[in-house]
Amino acid sequence: MKRRDFVQLTGLGLGGLLLPFPMMGNSVSPEALLEIPITIAQKKQLADVALNTAKSLGATYTDVRIGRYLNQFVSTREKRVQGIQSSESYGVGIRVIANGTWGFASTNQVTTEGVNKATTQAVAIARANSKFQKEPVILAPAPGYGEVVWNTPIQKNSFEVPVSEKVDLLLNANSEAMKNGANFVSSNLFQVNEQKYFASSDGSYIDQDIHRIWPTFTVSAIDRASGQFKTRDALSAPMGMGYDYMIPKKEDKLQTPFGMTLYGNSYDIVEDAIAAAKQAKEKLTAKSVEPGKYDMVLEPNHLGLTIHESVGHPLELDRILGYEANYAGTSFATLDKLKSGTFNYGSKVVNIFADKTQPCSLGAVGYDDEGVKCKRWDLIKDGIFVNVEAIRDQVHMIGQKESHGCCYSQSWEDVQFQRMPNVSLAPGKESYSLAQMIKDVEKGIYIAGRGSYSIDQQRYNFQFGGNVFYEIKNGEVIGMLNDVAYQSNTQEFWNSCVKICDEKDYRLFGSFFDGKGQPSQVSAVSHGSSTSRFNGVNVINTARTI
């Protein structure tokens, strides 16, 4: 889904909507999502058609992606269902190198004839584009893995759960929020299943079944007399999981010393909706923040977005090289800083790694969309910038021989390109809890959940809001705050990181709709961290009167 579609989905778009929300394929019945239209053996046969045709036409490399992308979206508001959408997008994308140039074509005709036609088209496009090519594509080698399978290790397939059960759960959460003081509540459940088959002329035939889920809501509280309104969003995270995420487990709940409940690898939407209603109401009378310098205590479901924007994006090699200059931008993290081996991205306690294998994460797959086996690698080690995020056709530009395995396409019909892997902050090595961290802070602010976010096109200057804010004074949380946003500079911010809680506090934040490229493509990515402390960060007050 493009950002502008998402903007419309959230009710902010211009113009009349054709549909209650954008289709990400053709709508089908929920039962149809469970049908299997094609076997692995049939996919291999079709893939071989493309590989052989491309080779006979002179392609020096070919990959084929047969994809069935399933989405289900349930949307409710207060007591009623706004929409239920089940959709399927099914087709084949074929990418070739001919005359040293990429060519790509796709078709929804998943037949020998359709595949043959698209392959021929991809080769023709490659040849036509080769006149613009300055240097031939150089692909880092990737071993052929033969016939392999990888599945998201889910316990309960979301698509097997009756829609009525999902509707009941959301309506129950809404009802509890209303009972606890909410004036309005809307809740949504997104579920994704990518059934992807990849084959390449390197000798890989990879079948993957990938699941993702995202329950979320917004609770509003209104003071009609003053005309003030405040919202509190869900403290859930989108996850690379099945419906198991929706079944609350005691061991996944974390209690803060000041009475908030936070969630790990399972979520209690009803409990969180009740808390949200109470907090939204409390926000209406909470103290407005005094601007100035504070020590920030940032919770994983908040810090994830800061990691995403200030580390995940600037370390994308295609951005660093200038391929995204006209849209997403370039990067302050230049190759000379990488090569120096001494660039202090952060303080010594900061260890940030990329990991496409992290369980329950949105980016977890066995192999990326160009057949590279996924792995974990360091980006920032003991505060030093040590590596970037790269794929097969660019990694040679930094003198490395192996792709990092972070190539992705949002569907069979779009060409794959470099996307951000899961980028996470390693937990502190010593035993250290949130309670201890708060005790150590004299003048600080605790932030949970995501809020407003903005960063410049080279990823220096950023500003983040949050979902809930608490004031910390002399080692204690003394009350809720409003109107908080912090501004910093990436290098300065990560160098102000003085403490990170241990692995018991480690959780994943996620983004379902990270946009990049022209035309824009989305991808889903997680960021893990433990609650972390950043000293002396500049906080502004965002209240205005109009």
Partner 1 sequence: MALLTKEEVQALLKKVLSYSKADECEVNLNGTDSANIRYARNSVSTSAKVSQTQLAVSSAFGKKLGIATINEFDDASLEKVVRRSEELAQLAPENPEHVSFLGPQKYDEAITYVPETANITPRLRSDLVAESLKVARDGKAVAAGFLEDNNGYSAMMNSKGLFAYNTSTNTNFSITVRTEDGRGSGYATRGYNDVRKLDTKRATQIATEKALKSADAKAIEPGKYTVILEPAAVAVLLENVFFRLDARQADEGRSFLSKAGGGSRLGEKLVDERVNIYSDPLNPELPTSTWSGDGRPQEKVSWIEKGVIKNLSYSRYWAEKKGVKAVPGPDAAIMEGGTKSLEELIAGTKKGVLVTRLWYIRDVDPQSLLLTGLTRDGTFYIENGKIQYPIKNFRFNESPIIMLNNLEELGKVERTVSVESNQNYLLPPLKVRDFTFSSLSDAV
- What CA–CA distance (Å, rounded) separates 526 from 422? 5
Residue (52 or 461) nearer to partner 1, CB? 461
Q: Is residue 452 within the footprint of partner 1 (CB under 8 A)?
A: yes
Structure tokens at 136: 């031939």
- What CA–CA distance (Å, rounded) separates 36 from 39? 7
Q: Cis link prior to 143 (omega < 30° from 0)? A: no
Report in angstroms how near the CB of residue 361 gets to partner 1 at its nearest: 25
527 touches 6 (CB < 8 A): no
Strand 384-385 vs strand 376-381: parallel, antiparallel, or unpaired? antiparallel
Q: Is residue 129 within the footprint of partner 1 (CB under 8 A)?
A: yes
Report in angstroms how near the CB of residue 546 gets to partner 1 at its nearest: 4
187 touches 217 (CB < 8 A): yes
Residue (185 or 438) nearer to partner 1, CB? 185
Strand-pair partners of 208: 150, 196
Strand 507-516 vs strand 476-482: parallel, antiparallel, or unpaired? unpaired
Structure tokens at 324: 């995204």
Where in 152-171 is the site for partner 1 (CB under 8 A)? 163, 167
Q: Is residue 125 within the footprint of partner 1 (CB under 8 A)?
A: yes
Where in 37-76 is the site for partner 1 (CB under 8 A)? none
Considering only residues 134, 251, 259, 341, which one is a binding residue for partner 1 as defined by CB under 8 A?
134
Q: Is residue 104 within the footprint of partner 1 (CB under 8 A)?
A: yes
Total residues at the site for partner 1 (CB under 8 A)?
82
Residue (20 or 359) nearer to partner 1, CB? 20
- What CA–CA distance (Å, rounded) separates 65 from 313? 26
Report in angstroms how near the CB of residue 227 gets to partner 1 at its nearest: 3
Mind spelling out the 3-state secondary structure of 339-404? HHCCCECCCCCCCEEEECCCCCCCCCCCECCCCCECCEEEEEECCEECCCECCCCCHHHHCCCCCC
- What CA–CA distance (Å, rounded) separates 322 from 177? 47
Strand 287-288 vs strand 476-482: parallel, antiparallel, or unpaired? parallel
Q: In 3D, which of 118, 117, 124, 74 has the Cα closest to residue 98? A: 124
Residue (41 or 546) nearer to partner 1, CB? 546
Where in 273-312 is the site for partner 1 (CB under 8 A)? none
Q: Is residue 325 within the footprint of partner 1 (CB under 8 A)?
A: yes
Q: What is the residue type of 371?
A: G
Residue (2 or 375) nearer to partner 1, CB? 2
- What CA–CA distance (Å, rounded) separates 358 from 364? 6
Considering only residues 299, 324, 471, 505, which one is a binding residue for partner 1 as defined by CB under 8 A?
324
Strand 80-98 vs strand 384-385: parallel, antiparallel, or unpaired? unpaired
- What CA–CA distance (Å, rounded) separates 359 from 510? 13
Q: Is residue 531 within the footprint of partner 1 (CB under 8 A)?
A: no
One DSSP character per residue, 92-111 reads EEEEEEETTEEEEEEES--S
Considering only residues 157, 433, 457, 535, which one is a binding residue for partner 1 as defined by CB under 8 A?
457
Q: Is residue 330 within the footprint of partner 1 (CB under 8 A)?
A: yes
Considering only residues 67, 346, 465, 528, which one is a binding residue for partner 1 as defined by CB under 8 A?
465
Residue (105 or 115) nearer to partner 1, CB? 105
Structure tokens at 26: 């053709």
Residue (180 or 461) nearer to partner 1, CB? 461
**3-state class (DSSP) for residue 246:** helix
Where in 390-409 is the site for partner 1 (CB under 8 A)? none
Q: Is residue 114 within the footprint of partner 1 (CB under 8 A)?
A: no
Per-residue contact flags (x/-) with partner 1 for residues 6 to 25, judged by CB under 8 A:
-x---xxxxxxxxxx--x--
Instruction: Please state whether 536 falls in left (phi above 0), alpha (psi between -120 and 50) or beta.
Output: left
Helix H or strand E encompassing 283: helix 269-283
Report in angstroms how near the CB of residue 242 gets to partner 1 at its nearest: 23
DSSP state of 20: S
Report in angstroms how near the CB of residue 413 gets to partner 1 at its nearest: 8
Considering only residues 321, 388, 447, 500, which one is a binding residue for partner 1 as defined by CB under 8 A?
321
Q: In 3D, which of 374, 42, 441 has the Cα closest to residue 210? A: 374
Report in angstroms how near the CB of residue 149 gets to partner 1 at its nearest: 30
Report in angstroms how near the CB of residue 134 gets to partner 1 at its nearest: 5
Residue (88 or 244) nearer to partner 1, CB? 88
Considering only residues 38, 375, 453, 502, which one is a binding residue for partner 1 as defined by CB under 8 A?
453
Considering only residues 322, 359, 430, 435, which one is a binding residue for partner 1 as defined by CB under 8 A?
322
Structure tokens at 75: 């949307």
Considering only residues 172, 433, 463, 535, which one is a binding residue for partner 1 as defined by CB under 8 A?
463
Where in 230-269 is the site for partner 1 (CB under 8 A)? 231
240 touches 184 (CB < 8 A): no
Residue (251 or 336) nearer to partner 1, CB? 336
Residue (216 or 530) nearer to partner 1, CB? 216
Where in 176-235 is the site for partner 1 (CB under 8 A)? 183-184, 220, 222, 224-229, 231
Where in 406-435 is the site for partner 1 (CB under 8 A)? 413, 415
Report in angstroms how near the CB of residue 74 gets to partner 1 at its nearest: 11
Report in angstroms how near the CB of residue 463 gets to partner 1 at its nearest: 5
Strand-pair partners of 486: 464, 539
Residue (133 or 431) nearer to partner 1, CB? 133
Considering only residues 460, 475, 498, 502, which one is a binding residue for partner 1 as defined by CB under 8 A?
460
Where in 471-490 is the site for partner 1 (CB under 8 A)? 483, 485, 487, 489
Q: Is residue 80 within the footprint of partner 1 (CB under 8 A)?
A: yes
**3-state class (DSSP) for residue 180:** coil
